[in-house]
Amino acid sequence: MFTIRFIVPALASFAAALGLLPASASAQGLDLAAAKVVDLTHPIDASTIFWPTEVKAFELTEEHKGITERGFFYAANRFCTPEHGGTHVDAPYHFSQTGESVAEVPVDRLIGRAVVIDIADKAAADPDFTLKPEDVSAWEAAHGAISRGTIVLLRTGWSSRWPDKRAYLGDDTPGDASHLHFPSYGAEAARLLVDRGAIVLGVDTASVDNGPSKDFLVHRILGAANVVGLENLTGLDRLPPTGAWVMALPIKLAHGSGAPARAVALLP
């Protein structure tokens, strides 16, 4: 973590006026001048994990690297990547024909107060574990009710397995997603959180549905409610259960069902 040094406190209200940060941010104690930043994002490179059925992975092509005819250094690359790999956003359109695409999701629904529900112990005992309504209730009994406009992050501990594909996905058979094992949200818990008014459900595994899922009910619940999914996070162990603000900003990809995102947390 590092301290933001050159941001005056007035930036919070300025950002709110621009719609980049909810107006309540400064009122709820987010002092940007004193905030610490945690990067929740895996880098994208040749080792990035994508969904097993993807035919192609990340490609970076060097177009220029070196000294130009005028004597200065210049570098430029071209990259190609599937939408759904590495730390990325799932737009509602991913599993809803009428859902918003990446470019249509309002930016104020990608920035908000965050809560972290930690199921790492349960996931260690059962790699297919899914968050259940009683887990949410237990978390709320300890930390308070989850309010509308919240970004919910599920910590399973799986990010420590990155980028070992077999350990992270439970299977590394190319082109086959039928034998995956990793924890995530359960459908009833996801529905409860959507009813609570969550704007994003994020997780440090490859999917908001757990590995064995075949019907992808959590994706479908989020899509129907125009709620964003945020997958393949890291660093959730560095966040408190409450108090952080999270920004998960994807490439503004027109008609995209998903896009790579830079996700960061701001800690008061």
Active site residues: 94
Q: Which token pair is 214?
A: 């075949």
Would you say 116 and 254 are in contact if contact means Cβ atoms under 8 Å apart? Answer: no
For residue 113, the surrounding DSSP H or E stretch is: strand 111-118
**Is the bond preceding 183 in cis, omega lying within 30 degrees of 0?**
no
The pair phi, psi for residue 229, each rounded to 5°, is -100, 150
The burial of 86, by beta-carbon neighbours within 10 Å (0-12 exposed, 13-18 middle, 19 or more buried), is given as buried
Would you say 229 and 222 are in contact if contact means Cβ atoms under 8 Å apart? Answer: yes
State the amino acid at position 248 in one-letter form. A
